[in-house]
Amino acid sequence: MCGIVGYIGKRDAYPIIIKGLQRLEYRGYDSAGVALYNDNEIHLCKTKGKVSDLKEKAKTDISTEGKLGIGHTRWATHGVPNDVNSHPHYSNSGDLVIIHNGIIENYESIKKELKNRGYTFKSDTDTEVLVNLIEDVQKNEDVKLGKAVQIALNQTVGAYAIAVFSRKKPKEIIVARLGSPLAIGVGEDEYFIASDASPFIEYTSNAIYLEDGEMAVVRTHKPLKILKIKDDSLVAPYIQELQLNLEQIEKGGYEHFMLKEIFEQPQAIKDTFRGRMLEKEGMIKMAGMDEHMNKFLNAKRIVIVACGTSWHAGLVAEYIFEELVRLPVEVEYASEFRYRNPVLEKDDVVIAISQSGETADTMAAMKLAKENGAFVFGVCNVVGSSISREADAGAYTHAGPEIGVASTKAFTTQITVLTLIALKMAYEKGKISKSDFHMHLQELDRIPEKVEKALKYNDHIEKVADKFKDAPNFLYLGRGFNFPVALEGALKLKEISYIHAEGYPAAEMKHGPIALIDEQMPVLVIATRKGHYEKIISNIQEIKSRKGKIIAVVTEGDEQVKDLADYVIEVPETMDSMSPLLTTIPLQLLSYHIAVLLGKNVDQPRNLAKAVTVE
Ligand code: F6R
């Protein structure tokens, strides 16, 4: 996700900003930029690429002096990564500059109105719309910059952390946050602004973390002012003393990126809904799908191509599509699909799923599908990635950068997007009633909160991990919607702990794997109440009578499985079709803790790469 840095005070702003941006590199980004004030002018430099590219460019393009400035690393959401879409963005007059982390959902309607009033736009970003809205408010209402920012933000829907300053009043930086983080470092006659404390930890250990819905006027000639965006009311600054070291801050206090990303899932799933699931209106809005609705409505079949964890998300989607849309679905390993002679019809919708958007096999499979006349829809996380560009249309997962090599939040957000697609198709095809559709939307809306609850069992899961860390093999069993989750759980364990693990549909066990079971074999069984519960209990009994060790993932309050299993891990109750979003959480945590206890390199397991761009 984007990174924000700002400085106002007695020191040169540029080196502080550049170093700060480098500290935020871990967040993942595709471009960088800086705007400084000196000599009555704003000096702005930005580029696609790394902070080191920005430094090179700034050497020749701008004066890097000045005691006030803002800087940004961009993770593209609106508009591909390029120089023009990079931040900061000027307003039309050139008087204001802004940096922004987040998404302004209603930017298109604001842009239309501003265009009618004569504003022009250089970039495809929602951010350039926001800075011009602020300028427009300031012009029409003749108010100070802070007030203009407040009025403008009250007209927006979405999420943001912003920093903006004006050439006309270069003594203050206005910052605001809603849904995206923003910290203010408090020094002596100087302030630092950043997405987290890592850019300023070496200068001050005093920080104010803005709360959602707050903004601040950051200035050195008068006291810092914090107020509520909604109604202007003043908020007393609460200064915290930071105890963290740099390394910890970059990982947000977590020991590993993987753990951080597991814990980010409630927010990541919310970000995936954002602006799409209009629960009150009873609608799902997805631009990429809306523009090609006839393709989805006329589809005779859905073919999903993907690799690894993304393939598992595709398998979950198969169950969801078949249940809700009543269409045949085939889920293909992209690497197999591309080398077969697959039968494809022009009425097939092919969905390519990829976190990185760069997986070579998935890319080749989608090209093959296109050559055969199929309509290809991409589900990617990385904006502007090759697969997202190659697809006829698509939807981003908006999970934010996933740095740990083992996919976690990418998986749950992929399932979320695929659920939205299936629900929209089912409703528009008349396969589910309005009340059923609403019920699904309401439950999906509750999922982030339930994921949060599932994460609360982390300490208990760590203890279970300790019991089984030395097992050389593991079996993972699940049925129905949770069979792919069993596969995913086994993959997570294999890739980060190097323990051999296999996932199976629970009923298949008796056709072979049951021969493996003895007192040494841990078997993780997903046994939630709504998914073939009685059948799963029989499977558990089969394991128990062969002395296998059972770790069961159960619905909160379950008593029956508790009596049979050696260890149980609870997840909140939900609809069967949404249970993978919850049951996957303990499996991620279990493999994480086992790998940590074994001293493995969790974030960068041996032999693996985050984007597999080779065959
Ligand atoms: C597993 C994992 C891999 C990827 C696979 C596809 O944790 O990360 O199995 O899921 O390489 O990658 P994407 O989704 O980027 O196409």
Averaged pLDDT for residues 95-104? 94
Element (H or E) spanning 476, and its range?
Answer: strand 473-478
Last residue of a domain, one of 434, 455, 476: 455
**18, 23, 25, 26: CA torsion to nearest 10:** 180
Confidence (pLDDT) at 249: 65
CB 96 within 8 A of CB 87: no
Q: Which atom of ligand 1 is nearest to the CA of 382?
A: 15
Check if 356 has its Cβ closer than 6 Å to any atom of ligand 1: yes
Distance CA 72, CA 101 (A): 9
Check if 362 has its Cβ closer than 6 Å to any atom of ligand 1: yes
Same domain, yes or no: 486 and 448? no
pLDDT at 492 over 60: yes
Which CATH number do you get for residue 444? 3.40.50.10490
Check if 309 has its Cβ closer than 6 Å to any atom of ligand 1: yes
Closest residue by CA, ligand 1 atom 4? 308
Q: Which of 10-14, 282-286, 399-403 has the highest mean pLDDT?
A: 10-14
Element (H or E) spanning 257, and its range?
Answer: helix 257-263
Closest residue by CA, ligand 1 atom 16? 354
Confidence (pLDDT) at 280: 74
Query: Does 615 reside within a domain?
Result: no
Check if 132 has its Cβ closer than 6 Å to any atom of ligand 1: no
Confidence (pLDDT) at 355: 94
Q: If DSSP states are collapsed to H, E and C, what string results for 492-517?
A: HHHHHHCCEEEEEEHHHHHHCHHHHC
Lowest mean pLDDT among 470-474, 503-507, 509-513, 531-535: 531-535
What spacing in Å lies between the alpha carbon of 482 and ligand 1's midpoint?
A: 19
* Chain length of the chain: 615
Q: Residue 607 phi/psi, 5° resolution?
A: 70, 0
What spacing in Å lies between the alpha carbon of 78 and ligand 1's midpoint?
A: 24
Q: Band the pLDDT of 607: cuts 50, 70, 90.
A: confident
Same domain, yes or no: 240 and 295? no
Token pair of 607, please?
A: 């032999």
Q: If DSSP states are collapsed to H, E and C, what string results for 530-556?
A: CCCHHHHHHHHHHHHCCCCEEEEEEEC
Averaged pLDDT for residues 251-267? 92
What spacing in Å lies between the alpha carbon of 206 and ligand 1's midpoint?
A: 40
pTM: 0.80
Closest residue by CA, ligand 1 atom 5? 308
Check if 397 has its Cβ closer than 6 Å to any atom of ligand 1: no
Examine the residue annotation and report whether 467 is marked as an active-site residue of this protein: no
Confidence (pLDDT) at 141: 92
Check if 310 has its Cβ closer than 6 Å to any atom of ligand 1: yes
Examine the residue annotation and report whether 45 is marked as an active-site residue of this protein: no
Q: Which atom of ligand 1 is nearest to the CA of 362?
A: 16
CB 18 within 8 A of CB 45: no
Check if 531 has its Cβ closer than 6 Å to any atom of ligand 1: no
Same domain, yes or no: 257 and 275? yes
Element (H or E) spanning 109, and its range?
Answer: helix 107-116
Confidence (pLDDT) at 247: 60
Query: Which of 256, 310, 496 most suits a substitution to test ligand 1, by most atoms within 8 Å of the C-beta?
Result: 310
Distance CA 533, CA 219 (A): 61
Same domain, yes or no: 446 and 465? no
Which CATH number do you get for residue 179? 3.60.20.10
Q: Which of 46, 55, 295, 610 is catalytic?
A: 610
Same domain, yes or no: 305 and 189? no
Q: How many domains does the chain have?
A: 3
Query: Does 133 reside within a domain?
Result: yes
Token pair of 414, please?
A: 């992929």
Q: Which atom of ligand 1 is nearest to the CA of 611?
A: 15
Tokens 């605001």 sit on residue: 176
Same domain, yes or no: 153 and 275? no
Q: Band the pLDDT of 613: cuts 50, 70, 90.
A: low
Query: Does 435 reside within a domain?
Result: yes
Q: Band the pLDDT of 183: cuts 50, 70, 90.
A: very high
Closest residue by CA, ligand 1 atom 11? 308
Check if 176 has its Cβ closer than 6 Å to any atom of ligand 1: no
Q: Which atom of ligand 1 is nearest to the CA of 609?
A: 11
Tokens 């979405």 sit on residue: 158
Same domain, yes or no: 444 and 463? no
What spacing in Å lies between the alpha carbon of 301 and ligand 1's midpoint?
A: 25
Query: Does 34 reside within a domain?
Result: yes
Tokens 């046994």 sit on residue: 527
Check if 406 has its Cβ closer than 6 Å to any atom of ligand 1: yes
Tokens 């020094």 sit on residue: 187
Q: Which atom of ligand 1 is nearest to the CA of 405?
A: 8
Check if 594 has its Cβ closer than 6 Å to any atom of ligand 1: no
Query: Does 609 reside within a domain?
Result: no
Averaged pLDDT for residues 365-371? 94
pLDDT at 250 over 80: no
Confidence (pLDDT) at 197: 84
What spacing in Å lies between the alpha carbon of 467 and ligand 1's midpoint?
A: 29
pLDDT at 312 over 70: yes
Q: Band the pLDDT of 386: cuts 50, 70, 90.
A: confident
Query: Does 554 reside within a domain?
Result: yes
Check if 307 has its Cβ closer than 6 Å to any atom of ligand 1: yes
What spacing in Å lies between the alpha carbon of 544 and ligand 1's midpoint?
A: 34
pLDDT for 129-166, tens place per residue? 999 999 999 999 999 999 999 999 999 998 899 999 99
Same domain, yes or no: 342 and 425? yes
Query: Which of 257, 262, 307 most suits a substitution to test ligand 1, by most atoms within 8 Å of the C-beta?
Result: 307
Q: Which of 2, 45, 307, 380 is catalytic?
A: 2
What spacing in Å lies between the alpha carbon of 404 and ligand 1's midpoint?
A: 11
Taking phi over 0 as left and psi of -120 to 50 as alpha, with beta for the rest, 199 belongs to alpha
Last residue of a domain, one of 438, 455, 472: 455
Averaged pLDDT for residues 17-27? 87
What spacing in Å lies between the alpha carbon of 355 and ligand 1's midpoint?
A: 7
Same domain, yes or no: 93 and 223? yes
**448, 319, 482, 499: CA torsion to nearest 10:** -100
Same domain, yes or no: 201 and 171? yes
Last residue of a domain, one of 420, 455, 490: 455
What spacing in Å lies between the alpha carbon of 490 and ligand 1's midpoint?
A: 14
Q: What is the rounded average pLDDT for all residues in the chain? A: 93
pLDDT at 575 over 80: yes
Check if 413 has its Cβ closer than 6 Å to any atom of ligand 1: no
- The CB density around residue 263, as the number of other CB atoms within 10 Å, is 21
Confidence (pLDDT) at 55: 97
Same domain, yes or no: 405 and 321? yes
Query: Does 611 reside within a domain?
Result: no
Q: Which atom of ligand 1 is nearest to the CA of 408?
A: 7
Q: Band the pLDDT of 1: cuts 50, 70, 90.
A: low
Same domain, yes or no: 257 and 210? no
Q: Band the pLDDT of 615: cuts 50, 70, 90.
A: low
Confidence (pLDDT) at 80: 85
Check if 495 has its Cβ closer than 6 Å to any atom of ligand 1: yes
Query: Does 610 reside within a domain?
Result: no
CB 523 within 8 A of CB 513: no
Distance CA 304, CA 331 (A): 5
What spacing in Å lies between the alpha carbon of 311 and ligand 1's midpoint?
A: 8
What share of the chain in percent tops pLDDT 90? 80
What spacing in Å lies between the alpha carbon of 354 and ligand 1's midpoint?
A: 7
Averaged pLDDT for residues 84-103? 96
Check if 402 has its Cβ closer than 6 Å to any atom of ligand 1: no
Tokens 């900003």 sit on residue: 17
Closest residue by CA, ligand 1 atom 3? 308
Q: With CA atoms as reference, report the closest residue to 203 among 225, 184, 180.
A: 184
Domain of 291, in residue numbers: 251-455
Check if 360 has its Cβ closer than 6 Å to any atom of ligand 1: no
pLDDT at 180 over 90: no
